[in-house]
Structure 1
Amino acid sequence: MHKDHTTQAKPKKDEREEVLKEIRQLENRQKILENKRHNEERKARTRRLIERGAILEGVFPLAPDLPGVEVKAFLIALSHLPGAAELAEKLPKSGEKP
């Protein structure tokens, strides 16, 4: 009888180790996918910022020569001009198609 108990315990231990190994593999796969998603989001944001910066420089040729603080102040001043708020309201929200 003692032998049967030992024989049953070993397969259960092996099965448990296999399940734990599979769990670790799945956790690692999840981390890899999360890192990939994060990198894709970061690249998309970087691209968006570069594109918008290029548009700003194209519309306002002096922008490349101004420090960031002055560009920000300039854009804030533009946002306070009459009609700016109404124009901004008409713009599509982030994620919406124009």
Structure 2
Amino acid sequence: MHQNITAQAEQKKDEREEVLKEIRQLENRQKILQNKQRGEERKARTRRLIERGAILEGVFPLSPDLSGEEVKAFLVALSRLPGAAKLAAELTKSGDAL
């Protein structure tokens, strides 16, 4: 009888270890998938920024020597022109291009 109880206890311990191992594997898989998703999101953002930067350079042939702050100041000045806010709001609502 004592051997039977010991065997059952050992079996439950083994089952518990297997379940804990499976949980660790699933947690690691979740981390891998989250890292992959963050990488894809970063890649998409980088691509979007590059495309928009290329559009900006194509529309406004600014000197490549301008600093980021100078480009920002230029864009801020453009955004303050009459009608700019309204146009931006309309584009945001409709999703249309110019």
TM-score, scaled to structure 2: 0.91
Count of residue pairs brought into register by the alignment: 96
Stretches of structure 1 that go unaligned for 5 or more consecutive residues are none
Q: CA deviation at 1:5?
A: 1.0
User: C-alpha separation between the residues in 2 aligned to 1:35 and 1:16?
Assistant: 29
**Cα gap change, 1:63/1:87 in structure 2, threshold over 3 Å: closer, same or farther?**
farther
**Cα gap change, 1:63/1:41 in structure 2, threshold over 3 Å: closer, same or farther?**
farther
Matches within 5 A, 1:50-65: 50-65=50-65
Q: Would you say 1:13 and 2:3 are equivalent positions?
A: no
Q: Aligned with 2:92: secondary structure? A: coil
Q: Please name the residue that 2:88 is paired with.
A: 88
Q: Which runs of 4+ in 1 moved over 6 A?
A: none
Q: CA RMSD in A?
A: 1.4
User: C-alpha separation between the residues in 2 aligned to 1:47 and 1:65?
Assistant: 22
Work out whether residues 56 and 63 of structure 1, in 8 Å CA contact, stay in contact via their aligned partners in 2.
no
Q: CA deviation at 1:97?
A: 4.5
Q: Would you say 1:45 and 2:45 are equivalent positions?
A: yes
TM-score, scaled to structure 1: 0.91
Q: Please name the residue that 2:34 is paired with.
A: 34
Work out whether residues 79 and 85 of structure 1, in 8 Å CA contact, stay in contact via their aligned partners in 2.
yes
**Cα gap change, 1:97/1:81 in structure 2, threshold over 3 Å: closer, same or farther?**
closer
Q: CA deviation at 1:62?
A: 1.4
Stretches of structure 2 that go unaligned for 5 or more consecutive residues are none
